[in-house]
Amino acid sequence: MSGNAKLLHENVWDQDPELMDLIKKEKQRQLRGLEMIASENFTSLSVLQCLSSCLHNKYSEGLPGQRYYGGNEFIDQVELLAQKRALEAYRLNPEEWGVNVQPYSGSPANLAVYTALIEPHGRIMGLDLPDGGHLTHGFMTPTKKISATSIFFESMPYKVDPVTGLIDYDKLAETAKLFKPKVIVAGISCYSRCLDYKRFREISDANGAYLFADMAHISGLVAAGIIPSPFEYADVVSTTTHKTLRGPRAGVIFFRKGVRSVKANGDKVYYDLEARVNQAVFPGLQGGPHNNAIAGIASAFLQAQTPEFKEYQEQVVKNSRSLCAGLIEKGYSVATGGTDVHLVLVDLRPAGITGARAEYILEEISIACNKNTVPGDKSALNPSGIRLGTPALTTRGLGEQDMEKVVDFIDRGLKLSKEIAAVSGPKLVDFKESVHKNAQFVPKVKALRDEVELFSSKFPLPGYEDY
């Protein structure tokens, strides 16, 4: 092969062993560990094949039938297919709802929604990040505007009740009356209960606000029809497609079409969101769509309409409930006292363990999760809980009995962290050092990790054999 032909046609494992080695190591990590980060999943072979297809090569700025470049005959059909299946997956009438499948991911999708709905400095209200909301719902701290959604728009958070852990809708209604937001965001990254979309709608209507549902975390559960859907009440719905939905890393925006309201004199007021959302995505915020990802979206939404997908989502929730019950039985405290969805938020304050230590020790025994603030936490920098999710484990075929084993591993890991902390003292750096260097703890950590990895490696991963 000539030099250039080699560049073009050689397999990555022959051409770039250094990079390939890292990819293979990551595959091994995914295989031997228990993935419990609630926003993660293992996508299907079909989606991975779309992502690495020739569709990646094509520029197609604009929408199907209105592109700025030629050669989009088939790209148009791919995007139309993705749109059609997106609407079908949520049982939406195309007269009432439209969809844009071009957002690169969830954060750009949300920025596009605000750009479409309101002026710069328009007001938004979302669930505060430490209470379970997402950065893109307007997050800022008392001293700094963190998310662009708080820099370019004026945001005011609503909160959960610090005792029950449940969203305080009454307080939201009260604050919204004063703040007069133009957009209310109903969406969560860490909240284990279903949202009351009807109540959100009432509060939005009372203030003339749009109701924007960000269902990124729960869009697979909604597609399966096993938890309440935001579509009955929301004006706009966004989602990522890579979490419970198990598709490619991308974003989607659904917008209402047709009659928005009827005036006293009978005149109809129509939604004008279609052009606003589409223009906000392109040319407002993005350039060429990622057509390989759009094909992946089409593939994921085809899967989302199957009985097997519904069964999978039901199992995700059964596993989450089993995980939750198992942890409570072992004496752990869970925010809101339970779960209706794919995640559990464990409050480690009564157990005397910090979120950072818990996350660290679990990672050391090959269980991936993330530290998280819990309702009533004093400091967002030193969170007192961990968020555990079941979508990825369920994809690998774990069932409720397996969750008992997982609970046992978590419990033993957390107990070990207490043992270590009792010796290492209050500083996290000393704790980490003890995990790695203390002759008493190193073999204990290793033995538990070996057990977890042996257990985990029995469950297959979708995708390619070793990368």
* Minimum distance from residue 189 beta carbon to ligand PLP (Å): 3
Report yes or no: 216 and 389 within 8 Å, Cβ to Cβ: no
Which one, 106 or 385, has the nearer CB to ligand PLP? 106
* Minimum distance from residue 133 beta carbon to ligand PLP (Å): 8
Residue 71 φ/ψ region, left for φ over 0, alpha for ψ in the -120 to 50 degree band, beta for the rest: left
What residues contact 95, with CB distance under 8 A and at least 6 apart?
Answer: 257, 258
Of residues 305, 217, 187, the one with CA closest to residue 41: 217
Structure tokens at 217: 């975390």
Which one, 62 or 389, has the nearer CB to ligand PLP? 389
Q: Which of 242, 290, 324, 369 is catalytic?
A: 242
CA–CA distances in Å: residue 242 to residues 162, 193, 247, 414? 31, 20, 5, 29
Do you find a cis peptide bond into 283, omega within 30 degrees of 0?
A: yes
Report yes or no: 192 and 339 within 8 Å, Cβ to Cβ: yes
Size of the chain, expressed as the number of residues it contains: 467
Which one, 138 or 375, has the nearer CB to ligand PLP? 138
* Minimum distance from residue 309 beta carbon to ligand PLP (Å): 20
Report yes or no: 241 and 214 within 8 Å, Cβ to Cβ: no
Report yes or no: 262 and 268 within 8 Å, Cβ to Cβ: yes
For residue 50, indicate whether it is catalytic. Answer: no
Contacts with ligand PLP by CB under 6 A lie at 39, 105-107, 110, 134, 136, 187, 189, 214, 216-217, 240
Q: What is the residue whose two structure tokens read 């430490």?
A: 130
Cα dihedral sign for 161, 167, 170, 176? positive
Q: b/e string for 306-316 if b means 16 or more Cβ within 10 A?
A: eeebbebbebb
* Minimum distance from residue 214 beta carbon to ligand PLP (Å): 5
Which one, 110 or 291, has the nearer CB to ligand PLP? 110
* Minimum distance from residue 38 beta carbon to ligand PLP (Å): 9
Q: Which residue is nearest to ligand PLP (CB)?
A: 106
H helices of 208-337, where? 219-223, 273-279, 291-303, 307-329
Which one, 187 or 413, has the nearer CB to ligand PLP? 187
The CA distance from 394 to 318, in Å, is 10
Residue 97 φ/ψ region, left for φ over 0, alpha for ψ in the -120 to 50 degree band, beta for the rest: beta
Phi, psi of 299 (to 5 degrees): -65, -45
Which one, 39 or 417, has the nearer CB to ligand PLP? 39
**Three-state secondary structure call for residue 100:** strand
Phi, psi of 66 (to 5 degrees): -135, 65
Which one, 250 or 325, has the nearer CB to ligand PLP? 250
Terminal Cα-to-Cα distance of the chain (whole angstroms): 25
Q: Which of 50, 134, 190, 342 is catalytic?
A: 190
* Minimum distance from residue 341 beta carbon to ligand PLP (Å): 12
DSSP code at position 61: -
Which one, 158 or 332, has the nearer CB to ligand PLP? 158
For residue 134, indicate whether it is catalytic. Answer: no
Instruction: Return the active site residues.
Output: 190, 242
